[in-house]
Amino acid sequence: MALIDRLRAVRATLRPGEAGPVASEGVVSAPALRAARPAPPDGASNYVILVLDSCRFDTWVRARPRVMERLGPLEKRYTYATWTAPSHYNLLIGLLPHSSPTHVYASEYYKDDFLKFKERFRIPDLSFGRMVPTLWLPTYLQSLGYRTNMLVSMPVLNPATPINSGFDRYQLMDRHNDVTAMIRAMRWYVDRPNFFVLNTGETHYPYATPDEPENEWPRISGVNGVFKHLDDHVRAGGLVHTSEAPRFFDDTRMKQLHARQVEAVRWVDRAVEELFDTAPANTWITITADHGELFGEKGYFGHGPIQHAKVTEVPFVEGRLR
Ligand SMILES: [Zn+2]
């Protein structure tokens, strides 16, 4: 089954209202929230985290996305995990990709990193002591009066997974690679600050933009879908060695795929202009990736069970537009 069929199969089982903990429109009514939630702190900021799935740092540098870089200076950061699910879990406990600092205890770095949320949320007395014991940013934000939203593209983050906790709205998008549809599906409420986590997949294999016909997408046997054809990769009790699959790691092909990811970043950059135009004043935006990607280096392709610097190097920009 090809990737797109796989995605459709997962989505078909998770239509909002048919299965999983998603309401029919995925939006909690305003009266219900008012009754259950305190008034937010004065001046509290909207906050959006946009995750370009699999976008590695040097891809961003090659793409030179001028719109997204309006947020602030580009930083090279490193993800705590090498694939989608654990990386998003990390984001949601408040650990964004790190700067790999030297000569500092991890506990000190975490503390300093958390303090930056005071600026992002414009809440001077934000207390991460109150995240104990759940260590879960969405529920903490709800307790502060926020509306919490997560719109995702990757089926491994679908609404039936435990990641969907503490969200007023959680939705798997119809297409894995259409950030414009995602931006247009955002609902900005004016009575409370909004928290959004957006996961978009143009930069994920096969690095396809929504205007590209599916029959023109590159096809690499065996990499369509995380849990697909697992048996195909295992022979006689071991993983198939790359030397047995020379076409799979053809250098020219890898360069073409990397170039596709560069073009995907440029596509997202143009699309993000609409987010910047429609986001209300007092919105902080962080744009980063959940992990990088390998394009043939040392015999690796993709991400996940890979120990290589390029699978943790990601771009990071953030700031407040107005
Ligand atoms: Zn991912």
Predicted local distance difference test score (pLDDT) of residue 267:
98
Does residue 82 belong to any structural domain of this protein? yes
- d(CA 199, ligand 1 centre) in Å: 8
pLDDT band at 248 (very low <50, low <70, confident <90, very high): low
- d(CA 304, ligand 1 centre) in Å: 9
Predicted local distance difference test score (pLDDT) of residue 273:
98
Predicted local distance difference test score (pLDDT) of residue 60:
98
Distance CA 262, CA 256 (A): 10
Does residue 10 belong to any structural domain of this protein? yes
76 phi and psi, to 5 degrees? -90, 120
Predicted local distance difference test score (pLDDT) of residue 239:
43
Let me know: does 6 contact 228? Beta carbons within 8 Å: yes
- d(CA 148, ligand 1 centre) in Å: 21
Does 257 score more than 90 pLDDT?
Answer: yes
Grouping H, G, I as helix, E, B as strand and the rest as coil, residue 78 is strand
Across 74-104, b (16+ Cβ under 10 Å) vs e yields: beebbbbbbbbbebbbbbbebbbbbeeeeee
Counting residues of the chain whose pLDDT is more than 90, the rounded percentage is 70
**How much is the pTM?**
0.86
Does residue 141 belong to any structural domain of this protein? yes
Expressed as residue numbers, the domain containing 168 is 3-17+45-211+244-320
Does residue 24 belong to any structural domain of this protein? no
Does residue 184 belong to any structural domain of this protein? yes
- d(CA 204, ligand 1 centre) in Å: 7
Give, as residue ranges, everything with CB less than 5 Å from ion ligand 1: 53, 84, 290
pLDDT band at 12 (very low <50, low <70, confident <90, very high): low
Report the range of poorest mean pLDDT among 5-9, 22-26, 123-127, 316-320. Answer: 22-26
- d(CA 201, ligand 1 centre) in Å: 8
Secondary structure tally for the chain: helices H, strands E: 8, 11
pLDDT band at 21 (very low <50, low <70, confident <90, very high): very low
DSSP 26: S
Distance CA 156, CA 163 (A): 10
Predicted local distance difference test score (pLDDT) of residue 322:
84
The closest alpha carbon to 208, from 164, 186, 230, 175, belongs to 175
Question: Which distant-in-sequence residues (6+ apart) come within 8 Å of 199 by Cβ?
Answer: 51, 53, 84, 88, 150, 151, 152, 153, 154, 157, 290
- d(CA 305, ligand 1 centre) in Å: 12
Span between the terminal Cα atoms of the chain, in Å:
46
Does residue 37 belong to any structural domain of this protein? no
pLDDT band at 223 (very low <50, low <70, confident <90, very high): low
- d(CA 156, ligand 1 centre) in Å: 9
- d(CA 200, ligand 1 centre) in Å: 9
Residue type, 299: G
Which one has a higher pLDDT value, 253 or 182?
182
Let me know: does 50 contact 279? Beta carbons within 8 Å: no
pLDDT band at 321 (very low <50, low <70, confident <90, very high): confident
Strand 301-302 and strand 169-172: the pairing is unpaired
Report the range of poorest mean pLDDT among 105-109, 116-120, 148-152, 246-250. Answer: 246-250
- d(CA 87, ligand 1 centre) in Å: 8
Q: Output the DSSP codes for 216-246.
A: GS---TT-SSTTTTGGGGEETTEEPPGGG-T
Grouping H, G, I as helix, E, B as strand and the rest as coil, residue 27 is coil
Residue type, 229: H
**Count of the separate structural domains present in the chain:** 1
Does residue 228 belong to any structural domain of this protein? no
- d(CA 20, ligand 1 centre) in Å: 22
Q: Which tens digit of pLDDT belongs to each residue from 54-74?
A: 999 999 999 999 999 999 999
- Using a 10 angstrom Cβ sphere, with 0-12 exposed, 13-18 middle and 19 or more buried, the burial of residue 247 is exposed
Distance CA 176, CA 182 (A): 10
Distance CA 315, CA 99 (A): 11
Distance CA 212, CA 317 (A): 27
The gap from C-alpha 53 to its chain's centroid, in whole angstroms, comes to: 5
- d(CA 134, ligand 1 centre) in Å: 24
**CATH code at position 49:** 3.40.720.10
Does residue 274 belong to any structural domain of this protein? yes
- d(CA 71, ligand 1 centre) in Å: 22
- d(CA 262, ligand 1 centre) in Å: 16
Peptide bond into 31 cis (omega under 30): no
Residue type, 251: D
Q: What integer is the mean pLDDT of 230-239?
A: 38
Distance CA 204, CA 230 (A): 19
Strand 169-172 and strand 234-235: the pairing is unpaired
Q: Which tens digit of pLDDT belongs to each residue from 105-142?
A: 999 999 888 899 999 999 998 988 888 889 999 999 99
- d(CA 280, ligand 1 centre) in Å: 28
- Count other C-beta atoms under 10 Å from residue 67's C-beta: 17
